[in-house]
Structure 1
Amino acid sequence: MTTTPPPPQTIATRVPGETDPGASLGPGGNGRGKVSRPRRGAIAKERLSSPWASGIAIVIAIMWTVPTFGLLVTSFRPSADIRQDGWWNVVTSPSFTLQNYQDAMTGSTRMVDYFINSLVITLPAVFIPISLALLAAYAFAWIDFKGRELLFVAVFALQIVPIQITLIPLLSTYNDWGLAGSFWTVWLSHSIFALPLAIFLLHNFMKDIPKSLVEAARVDGAGHVKIFFQVLLPLLMPAIAAFAIFQFLWVWNDLLVALVFGSSQDIRPLTVHIAELAGTRGQTWHLLSAGAFISMIVPVIVFLSLQRYFVRGLLAGSVKG
């Protein structure tokens, strides 16, 4: 008697990360499993690449670009033409000059001095909060001490405190300490306002680092200092770069803090000086337009040069396996 061999079984293959269609089948199941991650990405890509989405993106880009382009054209027009008609008339009567930038940088306004003041204010105001936030985030993430959760919630809650209610108490404190009229008032103010968000973001990134890395370093005899600088810090560079860009753009373009703590002639940044030019009721529009683009040079360079780190820092920790 011959025995017929059973038919060969078909081994189903599944793409890694794709949900098994039968995974959700069970008592009373309807056979509809969760949508896999690649499928969700394909759906999102299909929606964003639709003609309607592309059209809306183009309209937003045009609305955002036209005023900036008009300001750029105005900065190169003679002052008489600026006061006479709008920038769009350059199409019919083109006339350009570099005198506006020359007067803005080396003329009576001396914007080059305020440009240097902005650099002197911005760089320490970025370095100080990041340095302090890294240490605090490490303590909250990897050092077990009493009241850690409560203290972290308190630090996070400081983000909802409006900046405006802190200006007068801080100004009074700086006067008592004898710091009024110095760069320290602006540095400390920007650092204080940035610390809650910096600690919160860096703490979240640190918590996403596998605990096994820290435990392996401890087994090898590494202390907190070695773990922080040799294990965690290299992995946090995208997050640090992302927050550094945020803080740099915030401090460079800030006007409120600069008006309150840095309005004296020796330490005022470029934003305060441009705000004064805006109050001249059109008498110095040629200097105002040129000064606006002078103030935009550094933020644009910083953002374009660090854009890849910015995107990587925003995406780091957002997807978990």
Structure 2
Amino acid sequence: MSETIPQGVPAPRPVAFARTVPSSGGRTGALRWLVHAVVAFIVLWFLPILALLLSSLRPQADTATSGWWMALVRPSYTAENYLLALDQLRIAGSLGTSLAIAIPTTVLVVLLSVIGAYALVRMNFAGRTALSLLLVALLVTPPQITLVPLLRLYNLMGLSGTIPGIWLYQVGFTLPFGVFLLRGFIALIPQELFERAHLDGASELRTFRSIVLPLSRPIMASLGIMAFLWSWNDLLIPLLFMGGSSMSLPITVNLAGMVAQTTQGQGPLMAATFLSVAIPLVLVISLQRYFVRGILGGAVKG
């Protein structure tokens, strides 16, 4: 039975609920905090590099009596530390040795990784599953447990104290990561591209060269940057395998010896350290867009 409303009494009005409009002030404030956090991170990241650069350009008398920040208050710069580092500390030879190790290692890691990843994704052969499991096992294997057996093997093969011996070690322990990284990327390439290439009569080699390599350039650049940095910054392996060699030692080994034995003061050591940082820093800055694209490339299919 419906309820009647007496005459003369106004009908109740529906309650109007106010719509909540998201305030742009909150988003602006969050964005401002995010920008401040990014700027603070960049400043903290570049601060040690700036301190290293200013310390390497200061006269040794100033370095011994005041902090590096005084170079901003009372500027006094000289190139003497770099001349001493290149002449007496033989940094040029160490930089050349490090480049002779890092560049071939990087090229071999990238080339073998993309070939191995393509084979695991596109080719059907016996033992592919076992090889994939072995790849994962090598990723979690500490390289330190192989040092003693490999040192004995290198002594028997005459590879101890040689640059090719460093190549073999660094490539061998970086390759599983490279294959694992590129395998995930190549698996996301649309199947239609391979089918169309096969319908056109393309061989596996031509498919690899025409489809896989062009699409994989960003991730290959990312892998190349990481492989170069790992090889360049490696101290343990060159120290063990080339510590007693008569040739110029890599920059990391040379710097480690300078910290304990140098009699030239802190200025030349700072100059040598900055030179060792400058080369990989220039590489990362020049290839940063490829690095970001390569790292994020496997996150979105297609």
Larger RCO (CA under 8 A, 6+ residues apart): 2
| Shift in Å, 1:84 | 2.0
Residues 101 and 287, structure 1, Cα contact 8 Å, conserved in 2: yes
Q: If each structure's helix is expressed as a fraction of its own residues, which one has the higher value?
A: 2
Matched residue type, 1:239: I
Distance 1:47 1:155, change over 3 A: farther
1:81 is matched with 62
Residues 189 and 301, structure 2, Cα contact 8 Å, conserved in 1: no
Alignment partner of 1:174 is 2:154: yes
TM-score (norm 2): 0.85
Residues 137 and 202, structure 1, Cα contact 8 Å, conserved in 2: yes
2:277 pairs, out of 273, 296, 301, with 296
**Greater Cα shift, 200-209 or 273-282:** 273-282
1:97 is matched with 78
Matched residue type, 2:187: K
Q: CA RMSD in A?
A: 2.0
2:43 pairs, out of 55, 59, 62, with 62
2:171 is matched with 191
State the alpha-carbon separation in 2 of the partners of residues 273 and 265 from structure 1. 13
Unpaired segments of 5 or more residues in structure 2? 1-26
3-state SS in 1 of match to 2:187: helix
2:239 is matched with 259
Alignment partner of 1:164 is 2:144: yes
Q: Percent identity?
A: 39
Aligned residues: 275
Distance 1:297 1:67, change over 3 A: closer
| Shift in Å, 1:129 | 1.6
Residues 179 and 185, structure 1, Cα contact 8 Å, conserved in 2: yes
Residues 255 and 272, structure 1, Cα contact 8 Å, conserved in 2: yes
Residues 117 and 180, structure 2, Cα contact 8 Å, conserved in 1: yes
State the alpha-carbon separation in 2 of the partners of residues 116 and 257 from structure 1. 17
1:38 is matched with none
State the alpha-carbon separation in 2 of the partners of residues 47 and 278 from structure 1. 49
| Shift in Å, 1:48 | 9.9
Alignment partner of 1:109 is 2:85: no
State the alpha-carbon separation in 2 of the partners of residues 61 and 47 from structure 1. 21
1:150 pairs, out of 114, 130, 133, with 130
State the alpha-carbon separation in 2 of the partners of residues 222 and 92 from structure 1. 66
Q: Which has the larger radius of gyration?
A: 2
Residues 106 and 227, structure 2, Cα contact 8 Å, conserved in 1: yes
Residues 181 and 267, structure 1, Cα contact 8 Å, conserved in 2: no
3-state SS in 2 of match to 1:279: helix
Alignment partner of 1:315 is 2:300: no
Residues 277 and 284, structure 1, Cα contact 8 Å, conserved in 2: no
Alignment partner of 1:248 is 2:228: yes
State the alpha-carbon separation in 2 of the partners of residues 48 and 214 from structure 1. 48
Residues 85 and 272, structure 2, Cα contact 8 Å, conserved in 1: yes
Distance 1:117 1:134, change over 3 A: same
